[in-house]
Amino acid sequence: MTEQGPRARVVRCEGLRKRYGDRVAVDGVGFAIAEGETYGLLGPNGAGKTTTISMLCGLLHPDEGTIEVGGSPMTTGRCEAKAHLGLVPQDIALYPDLTAKENLSFFGKLQGLDRGELRTRVAEVLELVGLADRAGDRIEGFSGGMKRRCNIAAALLHRPSLLVLDEPTVGVDPQSRAAILDGIDDLRREGMAVLYTTHYMEEAERLCDRIGIIDEGRLVAEGTQPELVAAVGQHPIVRLAAEGDLTTFAGLAADAPQVVRAAASDGRVEVSVLDPTRALAPLIESAEAEGLRISGVEVVQPDLESVFLHLTGKALRD
Protein backbone atom coordinates (compact mmCIF):
# COMPACT_ATOMS: atom_id res chain seq x y z
CA MET A 1 0.00 0.00 0.00
CA THR A 2 2.89 2.33 0.63
CA GLU A 3 5.08 0.90 -2.08
CA GLN A 4 4.91 4.10 -4.20
CA GLY A 5 6.47 6.07 -1.37
CA PRO A 6 5.11 9.31 0.00
CA ARG A 7 2.15 10.61 -1.97
CA ALA A 8 0.82 14.12 -2.48
CA ARG A 9 -1.60 15.44 0.12
CA VAL A 10 -4.94 16.17 -1.56
CA VAL A 11 -6.60 17.64 1.47
CA ARG A 12 -5.21 19.06 4.63
CA CYS A 13 -7.15 20.68 7.40
CA GLU A 14 -5.88 21.99 10.71
CA GLY A 15 -7.42 23.27 13.89
CA LEU A 16 -10.98 23.36 12.58
CA ARG A 17 -13.35 24.86 15.06
CA LYS A 18 -17.06 25.61 14.72
CA ARG A 19 -19.28 26.93 17.41
CA TYR A 20 -23.07 27.26 17.42
CA GLY A 21 -23.90 29.55 20.29
CA ASP A 22 -22.53 27.90 23.43
CA ARG A 23 -22.14 24.54 21.79
CA VAL A 24 -18.83 23.70 20.18
CA ALA A 25 -19.68 21.39 17.29
CA VAL A 26 -16.16 20.89 16.04
CA ASP A 27 -13.19 21.55 18.28
CA GLY A 28 -9.76 21.53 16.77
CA VAL A 29 -10.14 18.82 14.17
CA GLY A 30 -7.30 18.34 11.74
CA PHE A 31 -6.29 15.61 9.33
CA ALA A 32 -4.82 15.10 5.90
CA ILE A 33 -5.61 12.68 3.10
CA ALA A 34 -3.17 11.67 0.41
CA GLU A 35 -4.07 10.74 -3.14
CA GLY A 36 -5.16 7.13 -3.43
CA GLU A 37 -5.96 7.07 0.24
CA THR A 38 -9.32 6.40 1.80
CA TYR A 39 -9.88 8.14 5.07
CA GLY A 40 -12.77 7.12 7.25
CA LEU A 41 -14.37 9.54 9.65
CA LEU A 42 -16.16 7.60 12.35
CA GLY A 43 -18.25 8.98 15.11
CA PRO A 44 -21.58 8.67 16.80
CA ASN A 45 -24.49 10.86 15.76
CA GLY A 46 -23.90 14.49 16.65
CA ALA A 47 -20.14 13.97 16.97
CA GLY A 48 -19.36 16.66 14.40
CA LYS A 49 -18.86 14.53 11.27
CA THR A 50 -21.26 16.42 9.05
CA THR A 51 -20.10 19.80 10.36
CA THR A 52 -16.53 18.82 9.58
CA ILE A 53 -17.45 17.66 6.10
CA SER A 54 -19.49 20.82 5.50
CA MET A 55 -16.50 22.97 6.37
CA LEU A 56 -14.21 20.84 4.26
CA CYS A 57 -16.50 21.22 1.25
CA GLY A 58 -16.92 24.95 1.68
CA LEU A 59 -20.57 24.76 2.72
CA LEU A 60 -19.81 26.16 6.15
CA HIS A 61 -17.28 28.73 7.20
CA PRO A 62 -15.07 27.52 10.07
CA ASP A 63 -14.64 29.85 13.05
CA GLU A 64 -11.02 28.85 13.20
CA GLY A 65 -8.63 26.65 11.30
CA THR A 66 -7.46 26.19 7.76
CA ILE A 67 -8.54 23.91 4.96
CA GLU A 68 -6.64 23.27 1.79
CA VAL A 69 -7.95 21.11 -1.01
CA GLY A 70 -5.81 20.46 -4.07
CA GLY A 71 -3.35 23.04 -2.85
CA SER A 72 -5.91 25.86 -2.72
CA PRO A 73 -7.55 27.27 0.39
CA MET A 74 -11.23 26.33 0.77
CA THR A 75 -13.70 29.11 1.39
CA THR A 76 -17.46 29.23 1.26
CA GLY A 77 -17.34 31.44 -1.80
CA ARG A 78 -16.60 30.39 -5.32
CA CYS A 79 -13.06 29.07 -5.22
CA GLU A 80 -10.53 26.95 -6.99
CA ALA A 81 -10.48 24.42 -4.19
CA LYS A 82 -14.04 23.35 -4.94
CA ALA A 83 -13.08 22.28 -8.43
CA HIS A 84 -11.00 19.49 -6.87
CA LEU A 85 -13.86 18.25 -4.81
CA GLY A 86 -16.73 15.88 -5.40
CA LEU A 87 -19.35 15.75 -2.66
CA VAL A 88 -21.79 12.90 -2.21
CA PRO A 89 -24.27 14.28 0.30
CA GLN A 90 -26.03 12.03 2.75
CA ASP A 91 -29.42 12.82 1.18
CA ILE A 92 -30.18 11.94 -2.40
CA ALA A 93 -29.21 15.35 -3.63
CA LEU A 94 -30.73 14.99 -7.07
CA TYR A 95 -33.82 16.43 -8.73
CA PRO A 96 -36.42 13.65 -8.62
CA ASP A 97 -38.36 15.09 -11.54
CA LEU A 98 -35.36 15.23 -13.87
CA THR A 99 -33.79 12.22 -15.56
CA ALA A 100 -30.45 10.80 -14.48
CA LYS A 101 -28.84 12.31 -17.54
CA GLU A 102 -30.42 15.74 -16.98
CA ASN A 103 -29.26 15.73 -13.36
CA LEU A 104 -25.71 14.80 -14.27
CA SER A 105 -25.57 17.31 -17.12
CA PHE A 106 -26.69 20.07 -14.78
CA PHE A 107 -24.12 19.35 -12.10
CA GLY A 108 -21.44 18.81 -14.76
CA LYS A 109 -22.16 22.27 -16.15
CA LEU A 110 -21.79 23.75 -12.69
CA GLN A 111 -18.38 22.08 -12.56
CA GLY A 112 -17.50 23.93 -15.74
CA LEU A 113 -17.35 20.98 -18.10
CA ASP A 114 -17.75 22.05 -21.70
CA ARG A 115 -20.33 20.52 -23.94
CA GLY A 116 -18.31 17.74 -25.54
CA GLU A 117 -16.59 16.76 -22.31
CA LEU A 118 -19.92 16.81 -20.53
CA ARG A 119 -21.48 14.37 -22.95
CA THR A 120 -18.67 11.84 -22.70
CA ARG A 121 -18.29 12.15 -18.93
CA VAL A 122 -22.02 11.73 -18.28
CA ALA A 123 -22.00 8.56 -20.37
CA GLU A 124 -18.83 7.25 -18.69
CA VAL A 125 -20.04 7.94 -15.18
CA LEU A 126 -23.44 6.38 -15.82
CA GLU A 127 -21.66 3.33 -17.18
CA LEU A 128 -19.44 3.28 -14.10
CA VAL A 129 -22.39 3.15 -11.69
CA GLY A 130 -24.32 0.75 -13.90
CA LEU A 131 -27.12 3.11 -14.87
CA ALA A 132 -26.32 3.59 -18.57
CA ASP A 133 -29.58 1.91 -19.60
CA ARG A 134 -31.63 4.12 -17.27
CA ALA A 135 -30.06 7.44 -18.33
CA GLY A 136 -33.34 8.80 -19.69
CA ASP A 137 -35.48 7.82 -16.70
CA ARG A 138 -36.52 10.17 -13.96
CA ILE A 139 -34.81 9.76 -10.59
CA GLU A 140 -38.17 9.45 -8.83
CA GLY A 141 -38.72 6.12 -10.57
CA PHE A 142 -35.42 4.65 -9.33
CA SER A 143 -35.00 2.14 -6.52
CA GLY A 144 -33.18 3.26 -3.38
CA GLY A 145 -29.95 1.64 -4.53
CA MET A 146 -30.11 3.18 -7.98
CA LYS A 147 -30.69 6.61 -6.46
CA ARG A 148 -27.63 6.12 -4.23
CA ARG A 149 -25.50 5.11 -7.20
CA CYS A 150 -26.65 8.10 -9.20
CA ASN A 151 -26.03 10.30 -6.16
CA ILE A 152 -22.40 9.16 -6.26
CA ALA A 153 -22.16 9.48 -10.03
CA ALA A 154 -23.02 13.17 -9.85
CA ALA A 155 -19.88 13.77 -7.77
CA LEU A 156 -17.53 12.03 -10.21
CA LEU A 157 -18.21 13.95 -13.43
CA HIS A 158 -15.28 16.35 -13.16
CA ARG A 159 -12.81 13.69 -11.97
CA PRO A 160 -12.32 15.26 -8.56
CA SER A 161 -9.09 14.57 -6.70
CA LEU A 162 -11.05 14.30 -3.47
CA LEU A 163 -14.30 12.42 -3.18
CA VAL A 164 -16.28 13.13 -0.03
CA LEU A 165 -18.91 10.55 0.81
CA ASP A 166 -21.28 11.19 3.67
CA GLU A 167 -22.92 7.90 4.65
CA PRO A 168 -23.36 6.83 1.04
CA THR A 169 -24.84 3.40 1.70
CA VAL A 170 -27.64 4.22 4.11
CA GLY A 171 -30.72 2.28 3.16
CA VAL A 172 -29.10 0.40 0.30
CA ASP A 173 -29.70 -3.26 -0.53
CA PRO A 174 -26.69 -5.57 -0.08
CA GLN A 175 -26.11 -5.96 -3.80
CA SER A 176 -26.00 -2.23 -4.49
CA ARG A 177 -23.85 -1.73 -1.42
CA ALA A 178 -21.30 -4.20 -2.69
CA ALA A 179 -21.28 -2.46 -6.07
CA ILE A 180 -20.78 0.92 -4.42
CA LEU A 181 -17.92 -0.31 -2.25
CA ASP A 182 -16.24 -1.97 -5.24
CA GLY A 183 -16.60 1.25 -7.17
CA ILE A 184 -14.94 3.26 -4.42
CA ASP A 185 -12.13 0.73 -4.31
CA ASP A 186 -11.62 1.22 -8.05
CA LEU A 187 -11.54 5.00 -7.67
CA ARG A 188 -8.97 4.77 -4.92
CA ARG A 189 -6.83 2.58 -7.11
CA GLU A 190 -6.98 5.28 -9.77
CA GLY A 191 -5.48 7.66 -7.23
CA MET A 192 -8.52 9.45 -5.92
CA ALA A 193 -8.48 10.51 -2.30
CA VAL A 194 -11.65 9.53 -0.50
CA LEU A 195 -13.15 10.88 2.68
CA TYR A 196 -15.75 8.48 3.95
CA THR A 197 -18.16 8.65 6.84
CA THR A 198 -20.26 5.71 7.76
CA HIS A 199 -22.15 4.01 10.51
CA TYR A 200 -21.23 0.62 9.13
CA MET A 201 -18.08 -0.58 10.86
CA GLU A 202 -17.46 -3.33 8.35
CA GLU A 203 -17.42 -0.77 5.53
CA ALA A 204 -14.83 1.31 7.32
CA GLU A 205 -12.80 -1.79 8.06
CA ARG A 206 -12.97 -2.92 4.49
CA LEU A 207 -12.43 0.43 2.72
CA CYS A 208 -10.43 2.76 4.85
CA ASP A 209 -6.65 3.00 4.89
CA ARG A 210 -6.79 5.34 7.80
CA ILE A 211 -9.51 6.18 10.23
CA GLY A 212 -10.20 9.21 12.38
CA ILE A 213 -12.50 8.76 15.33
CA ILE A 214 -14.43 11.86 16.22
CA ASP A 215 -16.41 12.40 19.37
CA GLU A 216 -17.96 15.55 20.79
CA GLY A 217 -16.23 17.61 18.14
CA ARG A 218 -12.75 16.28 18.83
CA LEU A 219 -10.63 13.86 16.86
CA VAL A 220 -9.91 11.37 19.63
CA ALA A 221 -7.79 8.93 17.65
CA GLU A 222 -6.40 8.52 14.19
CA GLY A 223 -4.44 5.87 12.39
CA THR A 224 -4.60 2.64 10.46
CA GLN A 225 -6.84 0.02 11.86
CA PRO A 226 -4.02 -2.00 13.55
CA GLU A 227 -2.52 1.21 14.89
CA LEU A 228 -5.82 2.23 16.42
CA VAL A 229 -6.31 -1.18 17.90
CA ALA A 230 -2.82 -1.18 19.34
CA ALA A 231 -3.09 2.35 20.60
CA VAL A 232 -6.04 1.56 22.74
CA GLY A 233 -4.43 -1.63 24.04
CA GLN A 234 -6.64 -4.08 22.26
CA HIS A 235 -4.93 -7.25 21.04
CA PRO A 236 -5.77 -10.06 18.65
CA ILE A 237 -7.09 -13.17 20.33
CA VAL A 238 -6.17 -16.74 19.49
CA ARG A 239 -9.10 -18.91 20.41
CA LEU A 240 -8.38 -22.66 20.84
CA ALA A 241 -11.23 -25.12 21.13
CA ALA A 242 -9.86 -28.18 22.84
CA GLU A 243 -10.35 -31.02 25.34
CA GLY A 244 -8.08 -31.58 28.32
CA ASP A 245 -6.80 -29.56 31.21
CA LEU A 246 -7.48 -26.15 29.84
CA THR A 247 -6.90 -24.23 33.05
CA THR A 248 -3.33 -25.49 33.44
CA PHE A 249 -2.61 -24.72 29.83
CA ALA A 250 -3.95 -21.22 30.21
CA GLY A 251 -1.59 -20.66 33.13
CA LEU A 252 1.36 -21.85 31.08
CA ALA A 253 0.40 -19.90 28.01
CA ALA A 254 0.10 -16.65 29.94
CA ASP A 255 3.85 -16.71 30.53
CA ALA A 256 4.80 -17.45 26.95
CA PRO A 257 6.44 -14.77 24.75
CA GLN A 258 4.04 -12.67 22.63
CA VAL A 259 1.20 -13.47 24.98
CA VAL A 260 -0.50 -10.71 26.95
CA ARG A 261 -2.93 -12.84 28.87
CA ALA A 262 -4.74 -16.15 28.63
CA ALA A 263 -7.91 -17.57 30.13
CA ALA A 264 -9.77 -20.86 29.97
CA SER A 265 -13.50 -21.12 29.80
CA ASP A 266 -16.16 -23.54 28.69
CA GLY A 267 -14.16 -25.87 26.43
CA ARG A 268 -11.84 -23.25 25.02
CA VAL A 269 -8.86 -21.09 25.79
CA GLU A 270 -8.65 -17.44 24.75
CA VAL A 271 -5.15 -16.07 24.45
CA SER A 272 -4.49 -12.38 23.84
CA VAL A 273 -1.34 -12.02 21.75
CA LEU A 274 0.75 -9.22 20.38
CA ASP A 275 1.17 -10.73 16.96
CA PRO A 276 -0.85 -13.79 16.09
CA THR A 277 1.40 -14.80 13.17
CA ARG A 278 4.30 -15.25 15.52
CA ALA A 279 2.40 -16.52 18.53
CA LEU A 280 0.20 -19.09 16.88
CA ALA A 281 2.69 -21.90 16.13
CA PRO A 282 4.33 -22.00 19.59
CA LEU A 283 0.90 -21.93 21.20
CA ILE A 284 -0.33 -24.95 19.29
CA GLU A 285 2.92 -26.75 19.88
CA SER A 286 2.73 -26.29 23.63
CA ALA A 287 -0.92 -27.22 23.70
CA GLU A 288 -0.18 -30.51 22.01
CA ALA A 289 2.73 -30.99 24.36
CA GLU A 290 0.27 -30.59 27.26
CA GLY A 291 -1.86 -33.34 25.75
CA LEU A 292 -4.78 -31.19 24.65
CA ARG A 293 -6.84 -32.43 21.75
CA ILE A 294 -7.40 -29.34 19.61
CA SER A 295 -10.61 -29.28 17.64
CA GLY A 296 -10.42 -25.74 16.32
CA VAL A 297 -8.23 -22.65 16.09
CA GLU A 298 -9.52 -19.14 15.44
CA VAL A 299 -7.70 -15.82 15.29
CA VAL A 300 -9.96 -12.88 16.16
CA GLN A 301 -8.71 -9.40 15.31
CA PRO A 302 -10.10 -6.77 17.68
CA ASP A 303 -12.44 -4.65 15.57
CA LEU A 304 -13.19 -0.98 15.31
CA GLU A 305 -16.38 -1.52 17.19
CA SER A 306 -14.44 -2.43 20.29
CA VAL A 307 -11.94 0.36 19.68
CA PHE A 308 -14.76 2.77 19.30
CA LEU A 309 -16.48 1.59 22.42
CA HIS A 310 -13.23 1.84 24.31
CA LEU A 311 -12.52 5.37 23.12
CA THR A 312 -15.92 6.97 23.34
CA GLY A 313 -17.83 4.78 25.69
CA LYS A 314 -20.56 4.75 23.04
CA ALA A 315 -21.76 2.24 20.54
CA LEU A 316 -21.41 3.57 17.01
CA ARG A 317 -24.93 2.98 15.89
CA ASP A 318 -26.85 4.69 18.66
Q: Which of 62, 70, 89, 183 binds another protein (CB under 8 A)?
A: 89
Say whether residue 109 binds another protein (CB under 8 A): yes
In angstroms, give the least distance from the CB of 119 to another protein: 11
Closest of 212, 180, 174, 176 to residue 49, by C-alpha: 212
In DSSP notation, 127-195 reads HHTT-GGGTTSBGGGS-HHHHHHHHHHTTTTT--SEEEEESTTTT--HHHHHHHHHHHHHHHHTT-EEE
In angstroms, give the least distance from the CB of 169 to another protein: 16
Say whether residue 70 binds another protein (CB under 8 A): no
Separation CA 152–CA 185 (nearest Å): 13
User: Taking contact as CB under 8 A, which single stretch among the options 27-35, 83-91, 190-198, 201-209 is the one that binds another protein?
Assistant: 83-91
User: Taking contact as CB under 8 A, which single stretch among the options 40-48, 104-112, 170-178, 215-223 is the one that binds another protein?
Assistant: 104-112
Say whether residue 228 binds another protein (CB under 8 A): no
Residues touching another protein: how many (CB under 8 A)? 36
Say whether residue 170 binds another protein (CB under 8 A): no
Beta pairing, strands 85-88 & 162-166: parallel
164 or 192, CB closer to another protein? 164
Separation CA 145–CA 134 (nearest Å): 13
Separation CA 216–CA 312 (nearest Å): 9
Say whether residue 194 binds another protein (CB under 8 A): no
34 or 113, CB closer to another protein? 113
Closest of 173, 145, 194, 150 to residue 36, by C-alpha: 194
Q: Which of 19, 32, 68, 76 binds another protein (CB under 8 A)?
A: 76
